[in-house]
């Protein structure tokens, strides 16, 4: 089965504008780390490189880079960029999440 992580058009545009603003970077690195009350939290940062065990997903002209350890937790996820409150935030629509803490900062699979 092919692992797939997708980006909405608005998320891709935001990633590309962040890279353009910083003047460097090839895409957005996303991952998961152990954290919070439910077990895991998402990590995100602009990356300059693709490492040996990384997978790269491209949608709407933007790249997502995911390390091998995080990939199973993110399989099938769609990364969206949505209006929330007064600003915009990245939202992970992750089918693997079984439980999410009240604060929305961590999740369990």
Q: What is the DSSP string of 50-65?
A: --TTEEEEEETTEEEE
**Whose CA is closest to 29, among 55, 63, 77, 65?**
65
Neighbours of 43 (CB within 10 A): 13
pLDDT tens digits in sequence order for the chain, 109 residues long? 456 899 999 999 999 999 999 999 999 999 999 886 768 889 999 999 999 999 999 999 999 999 999 999 999 999 999 998 899 999 999 998 887 665 556 666 6
Phi, psi torsion values for 104, nearest 5 degrees: 75, 5
Q: What is the CATH superfamily name and number for domain 6-108? A: HesB-like domain (2.60.300.12)
| CA–CA dist 96, 75 (Å, integer) | 7
Give whole-number Cα distances, 76 to 9, 22, 57, 92, 96, in Å.
16, 29, 12, 10, 8
Q: What pLDDT, on the 0 to 100 scale, is given for residue 81?
A: 95
Domain ranges (residues) in the chain: 6-108
| CA–CA dist 88, 93 (Å, integer) | 15
In this prediction the pTM is: 0.85
Spatial neighbors of 1 by CB under 8 A, at least 6 apart, are none
Q: What pLDDT, on the 0 to 100 scale, is given for residue 101?
A: 64
């Amino acid at each position: 089965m092919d692992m797939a992580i997708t980006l909405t058009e608005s998320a891709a545009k935001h990633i590309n504008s962040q890279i353009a603003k910083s003047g460097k970077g090839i895409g957005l690195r996303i991952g998961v780390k152990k954290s919070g009350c439910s077990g895991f939290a998402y990590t995100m940062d602009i990356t300059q490189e693709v490492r040996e065990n990384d997978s790269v997903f491209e949608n709407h002209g933007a790249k997502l880079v995911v390390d091998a350890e995080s990939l199973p937790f993110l399989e099938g996820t769609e990364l969206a960029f949505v209006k929330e409150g007064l600003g915009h935030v990245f939202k992970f629509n992750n089918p693997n999440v079984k439980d999410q803490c009240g604060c929305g900062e961590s999740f369990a699979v």
